[in-house]
């Protein structure tokens, strides 16, 4: 099988609205079991695993106002604390995956040279599951930037010529408005034109402590891709992940 990219949203793997770092261990364990089942069923599958920062990253960026001005004083310490917090999340996730005998190797995105991905390629060939998460980066003039897992998905998809990207979120797919009513249904299929229209119409106000733009930000990153198929599904519902990976789409399918 070809290489696939699976991104686990911060709202899935953490208790995002807790306001402080808190792992959603029940959800992570369920995800680990479903990935294990998929790997056992398709042993030749290659997976690049990504995860959002959730409550381990977004509240700190807001608290220290890291993105507002060049790094100095308290913002330097806040920048360091945020990176350390995302590393803690990666290690906690890895512990759950390793307990399920999944050979996950956490890689620090803020320390990665994006001009080459040889390390990740070598890990895939050797049978590992490389895992990268949302992180912080430095730009010119000592300014901080967010290295989102959504952006990483696009970079890695291009680097490894990955045609399928899966986004596990806390909702059933891409809706025109958030939050959704009881009878609301997500878009079942989007192409480039309808995706552009949806982004324009979206009212994505329910993005508590989210420096990456929540669903709207995700869709904007997807719009930058070409010749890709993207599945957005609810990773908090048991069985949806294995269903999506197995080709039984329940959510929003996007072809750009």
pLDDT in tens, 25-48: 999 999 999 999 999 999 999 999
Q: Is 176 helix (H, G, I), strand (E, B) or coil?
A: coil
| 52-64 residue pLDDT tens | 999 999 999 999 9
Per-residue CA distances from 34 to 185, 245, 249, 254 (Å): 25, 10, 15, 23
Average pLDDT over residues 229-247: 96
| 69-91 residue pLDDT tens | 999 999 999 999 999 999 999 99
Asked if 232 contacts 221 with a C-beta cutoff of 8 angstroms, the reply is no
- Using the Cα atoms of residue 70, residue 75, residue 80 and residue 83 in order, give the sign of their dihedral: negative
71-104 b/e (C-beta count within 10 Å ≥ 16 → b):
beeebeebbeebbebbbebbebbbebbeebebeb
Structurally, the chain folds into a number of domains equal to: 1
Model-wide pTM > 0.95:
no
Distance, CA of 171 to CA of 173 (rounded, Å): 6
| 164-223 residue pLDDT tens | 999 999 999 999 776 566 778 899 999 999 999 999 888 545 444 566 557 888 999 999
Asked if 212 contacts 147 with a C-beta cutoff of 8 angstroms, the reply is no
Q: Tell me, what CATH number does 110's domain have?
A: 3.40.1160.10
| Per-residue confidence (pLDDT) for residue 163, from 0 to 100 | 94
Identify the domain containing residue 60 by its residue range: 3-255
Distance, CA of 157 to CA of 21 (rounded, Å): 29
Rounded to 10°, the helix 74-99/25-41 angle is 50
Please say if the pLDDT value at position 118 is more than 50: yes
Cross-strand bridge partners of residue 146: 136
Mean residue pLDDT across the chain: 91
Q: 107, exposed or middle or buried, with CB in 10 Å at 0-12, 13-18, 19+?
A: middle
Strands (E), 148-228: 164-169, 177-178, 189-190, 203-204
| Per-residue confidence (pLDDT) for residue 19, from 0 to 100 | 77
| Per-residue confidence (pLDDT) for residue 250, from 0 to 100 | 83
| Per-residue confidence (pLDDT) for residue 59, from 0 to 100 | 93
Q: Is 13 helix (H, G, I), strand (E, B) or coil?
A: helix
| Per-residue confidence (pLDDT) for residue 203, from 0 to 100 | 59
Joined together, the tokens standing for residue 139 give 């730009």
| Per-residue confidence (pLDDT) for residue 23, from 0 to 100 | 97
Rg of the Cα trace of the chain?
A: 17
| Per-residue confidence (pLDDT) for residue 16, from 0 to 100 | 81
């Amino acid at each position: 099988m070809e290489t696939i990219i699976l991104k686990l949203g911060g709202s899935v793997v953490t208790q995002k609205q807790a306001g402080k770092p808190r792992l959603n261990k029940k959800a992570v364990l369920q995800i680990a079991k479903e990935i294990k089942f998929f790997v056992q069923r398709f042993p030749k599958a290659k997976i690049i695993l990504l995860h959002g920062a959730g409550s381990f990253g977004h509240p700190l960026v807001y608290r220290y106002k890291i993105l507002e001005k060049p790094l100095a004083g308290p913002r330097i310490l806040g920048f360091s604390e945020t990176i350390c917090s995302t590393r803690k999340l990666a290690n906690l996730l890895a512990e759950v995956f390793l307990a399920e005998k999944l050979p996950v190797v956490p890689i620090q995105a803020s320390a990665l040279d994006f001009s080459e991905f040889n390390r990740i390629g070598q890990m895939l060939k050797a049978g590992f599951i490389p895992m990268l998460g949302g992180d912080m980066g430095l730009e010119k003039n000592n300014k901080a930037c967010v290295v989102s897992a959504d952006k990483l998905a696009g970079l890695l998809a291009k680097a490894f010529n990955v045609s399928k990207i899966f986004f596990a979120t806390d909702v059933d797919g891409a809706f025109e408005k958030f939050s959704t009513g009881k009878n609301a249904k997500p878009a079942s299929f989007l192409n480039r034109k309808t995706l552009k229209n949806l982004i324009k119409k979206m009212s994505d106000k329910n993005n508590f402590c989210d420096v990456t733009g929540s669903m709207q930000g995700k869709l904007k990153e997807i719009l930058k891709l070409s010749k890709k198929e993207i599945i957005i599904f609810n990773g908090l519902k048991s069985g949806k992940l294995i269903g999506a990976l197995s080709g039984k789409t329940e959510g929003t399918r996007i072809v750009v």
